[in-house]
Amino acid sequence: MAQRRDYPHKITFKVKHLDEYHDIVLDWDEDRYRYKSQQIFDQLELITGVPNRYACNVCVRRPDEVNLAGIIAVPHINLKAYPPGSEPNLPDYSRHYYREDDISWRIFRDGERYHLEYYAYYDYEVSKRISFSYSLVNERYVTEGACSRDFCHYKCTESHFKKLKDLASNDELNAKITPLVQPIMETFSNTRNSEKRKILIEFNVEQFLYVICSEERREVIQQNGHERQDDLYLRTRG
């Protein structure tokens, strides 16, 4: 197998989920994975308890200011989140060579520490249901006890996480939402997002999906003087 002389074949970094640190191990010699970054999703499933098929992507914020200067974030798509038969047609992969388009090896460093941030949303491209999106935020960008533009402590609580997990794993609820939302999102009309939000409000879930941290949006608030206020639930509901 071809080797990168400038990078170890196995690295371990820590991820803090809620109040506990967990190890994630990336093994570049692991032959089970077509894309090495897929290992992250399998291990996040064990850490969070969220089934793989309900987690569409993981994004690494400001990954490496030396080797990837100017890169705001690097996303990875979870191939296991696609419904059966809808997986993308990916190029052939030979295990004897590293893929040039898999830059995971340039992102992570052995021994680094990350905090796990997450939100849930309706994903019309991959899972076609309410799903999780994860962010790995390097600990150097996390301010202890205070929110920053990179990390919100108040969105990363056990109660909020449980609510999102319940929504993403509720197959009965998603079976009602998908037939209404998916056709709208596939029209690519200018009003599709507002129409989608109306449906999610009807099901009383938008208020949990659309959560804004004022510190993360500080630049917008400074520019406008306030954060836009939207109705996220039906006021007739109890």
Residue-wise pLDDT for 175-234, tens only, equals: 999 999 999 999 988 999 999 999 999 999 999 998 888 665 565 555 665 555 454 444
Gap between the Cα atoms of 147 and 224, Å rounded: 20
> Would you state the pLDDT for residue 227?
53
Say if CB 101 and CB 83 are below 8 A apart: no
For residue 117, is pLDDT > 50? yes
> Would you state the pLDDT for residue 74?
81
Mean pLDDT within 104-129: 90
At residue 135, what is the residue type?
Answer: S
> Would you state the pLDDT for residue 100?
43
CA distances from 117 to 7, 123, 157 (A): 27, 18, 10
Closest to 14 in 3D by CA, of 31, 26, 32: 26
Residue 123: which residues within 8 A CB-CB, separation 6 or more? 56, 81, 129, 130, 131, 133
> Would you state the pLDDT for residue 93?
47
Higher pLDDT, 130 or 145: 130
Higher pLDDT, 93 or 68: 68
> Would you state the pLDDT for residue 222?
59
For residue 45, is pLDDT > 70? yes
DSSP element (H, E) containing 136: strand 129-138
For residue 163, is pLDDT > 70? yes
Higher pLDDT, 13 or 149: 13
Gap between the Cα atoms of 39 and 33, Å rounded: 7
> Would you state the pLDDT for residue 67?
59
184 φ, ψ to 5°?
-65, -45
Higher pLDDT, 192 or 92: 192
For residue 15, is pLDDT > 80? yes
> Would you state the pLDDT for residue 31?
76
